[in-house]
Amino acid sequence: MPRSYHRYKSRSRSLRSSHHRHKRRRRSSSSGRRYEDKYYESPGSDYRRERSLSPERQIFRDNHYNDRSESGYYENYSRHYYHEEKDKYKSKDENYQSSYRKHKHKRRKHHSHSCSSTRSNKDQQRSPSVEDDEDGHLIYHQGDWLQARYEVVGTLGEGTFGKVVKCKDHQTGQSVALKIIKNKEKYREAAKLEINVLRKINERDPSGEHLCVKMFDWFDYHGHMCVSFEILGLSVFDFLKENNYIPYSLDEVRHMAYQMCDSVLFLHDQKLTHTDLKPENVLFVNSDYSIKYNPEKRQDERTIKCTDVRLIDFGSATFDWEHHSTIVSTRHYRAPEVILELGWNQRCDIWSIGCIMFELYLGITLFQTHDNREHLAMMETILGPIPSKLIRKSRKTKYFYHGKLDWDEKSSAGRYVRENCKSLKKYMTSNDEDHVLMFDLIQSMLQYEPDRRISLKDAVTHPFFDKLHCKRDMRESTSR
């Protein structure tokens, strides 16, 4: 063959290989932006890894939550509806980052617009020195003042949304938790939505009787939305984790579960769905504890002194008349109608509460998975077959074959589900009446069909909570 032919073939091969390399690069660059729902562990991977390794949780638990402070006021602002609009925000964020890198050492020219009545000339004089880091966090130091009112004492927590800072409010003289949102449009807009919800809650429940976190003030500080809250203790999850996942006692679970039901019932009465109920969003008012040594386990065990809790994180709360995102709730507490894309309503919160109660009682997650198909397989193992009515209505036909879940029980994922999941009632640690009543309530909350799920009005009067009502009646009678 002529030499020109060989040169042509060699050149075409190199072009093809270069083309494939570029394709591989494009695939790999996009995979890093995948949302948690698309996260998939291969059949050979270790399914027993701790749930904090999910992309959604790893940031908050492993990286940001290592530095525990005295208040433990942490919030997760990685909302699902951000991902639904990520294409919309992607170009804006990239433009922001690229322009910021060029000018990150220059002072910002824009001014803050405050909705707080505490704006003063002193703060305006400091505004040119306000700077952000590369991630959009406000750069601050201990002793800095915001709005000539809030003096920074220290950092309480950090998340993708921004940081939570302990401040002294010099107008009231009390300490507050100030949530400082990143100076990015998507987080700023989400913070405004949360502020709107918190204002409604404050209007309807000014005394805080229904146990939602109390918002004191909010303002825009040079592009950072700032919200001040009451300082609370650790979340029920963080306390559980720091206690080596030793479960709460039945009485503690009963009290916390009742408070959750009462608080979420109040939200539902306001035509509001929380959509992100999980142990991280239920905080102790005070997380002080006593320690007792357990000789059998050869370790110290903590016992919470007071089980009063507050509900936090209303960043993805949705009113009944607002647009309902397709995907809501953190994976482990997500209702089947959300996974199957059947549409959701307030009953998805009730499913989440049932999952939380189980976790507090046993110290383990009920549905430990990161994949939709595996999640549905776990549901069937624990709760029984998915009703054919839901399967017929679902748009997720790829999960089913001839009206049944398309699931390979012989795969490594199938073995994991078979070895680690069992019927719900088999998880009971005792056959005493209280344990039976609690699992009866959990099972009624974990009904596949939303309409068949127990309502929270009925849940708060369930026999499992009778002992709480008796104690309350006794306290009221003695106080008289």
Give the active site residues.
276
Determine the Cα–Cα distance for residues 419 and 437; give it in Å rounded to an integer.
26
106 is in an annotated binding site: no
Q: Residue 395's CB: how many other CB atoms inside 10 A?
A: 9
Q: H or E segment at 473? A: helix 466-479
CA 305 to chain CA centroid, Å, is 25
Q: 281 with 269: CB under 8 angstroms?
A: no
DSSP letter at 454 equals P
For residue 176, what are the β-bridge partners? 167
The tokens for 442 are 């959990």
Q: Whole-angstrom Cα distance, residue 441 to residue 367?
A: 18
- For 400, what's the count of Cα atoms within 13 Å in the CB-facing half-sphere? 20
Task: Give residues with Cβ within 8 angstroms of 312, minimum separation 6.
Answer: 75, 212, 213, 229, 232, 281, 282, 283
* Cβ atoms within 10 Å, residue 30: 9
CA-to-CA distance for 278 and 357, rounded, in angstroms? 10
**Numbered residues of the known binding site:** 179
Known binding positions for ATP = 179
